[in-house]
Amino acid sequence: MLKTVKTLVPAGVKAALKATVQGYRLRRGLRAISALNEGELPTRAMLRSLSLGWGNDGYAANLDYLEEVARNAATTAGPVLECGSGLTTLLLGMLAGRRGVVVRSLEHSAEWRQRIAAVVSQYQIANVEVLGSPLRDYGAFAWYDPPLDQLPEEFRLVVCDGPPGMTKGGRYGLLPLFGRRLPEGSVILVDDAGRPGEVEMMNRWRSELELTVEVFNKPAGRFATLVRRG
């Protein structure tokens, strides 16, 4: 009976209902996290509500990775760099930005940047700026073309989830462009750490910089935490 009813509902109505439910979940997740005391971490239920409300099926970060992002965002003492904007942009703003820690997110897609910036503005998420950074060919690799003169001289936390994996050199370009802005003790979070491109990237980084690497194998995917030693 339920299946029959579903087939009778027009596609446009289904889409509208889905958008309404997602909007409610997103607002609920954002309100819950915004109400946390400084230093208090969001529960898994809060992160699940946020993720379900965000939608973006197939691309939204898994809950284990979101927990790691939240833990670092709630404790980092310095500026945050994000490579590729999305759900984590909102989380970084709510946990780091509201403490006065600036968050700068690089985004190559103008359309996606507008969407993220609109949500940041709508929910008044503090100290977050999504910067338009088209992809540029640097010869041996391609990466974002960030407005370096507008960015802090150092970053204490980097959330590395871009550019897209098919980009020449993958996400390797972070180190050539920002290695000198990553002081001792700075943390890099890498999503999709089980993919061959990311494995190769982290091996290259370790050959060029002193890093402690911890890889987390979770049912929903693999991610890594890298800490600069010197």
Q: What is the pLDDT of residue 25?
A: 84
Q: Quote the CA–CA distance of 150 and 79 in Å, as a whole number.
A: 13
The pTM for the full model equals 0.88
Hunting for tokens 């529960």 — which residue is that?
Answer: 43
HEC secondary structure over 107-176: ECCHHHHHHHHHHHHHCCCCCEEEEECCEEECCCCEEECCCHHHCCCCCCEEEECCCCCCCCCCCCCHHH
| Structure tokens that stand for 100 in this block | 């006065």
pLDDT in tens, 142-168: 999 999 999 999 999 999 999 998 999
Q: What is the pLDDT of residue 8?
A: 61
Q: Which residues of the chain have pLDDT under 70?
A: 1-19, 56-61
The number of residues in the chain equals 230
The full set of domains in the chain, from first to last, is: 56-228 (3.40.50.150)
How far from 183 is each of 179, 201, 210, 229, CA to CA, in Å? 8, 20, 11, 9
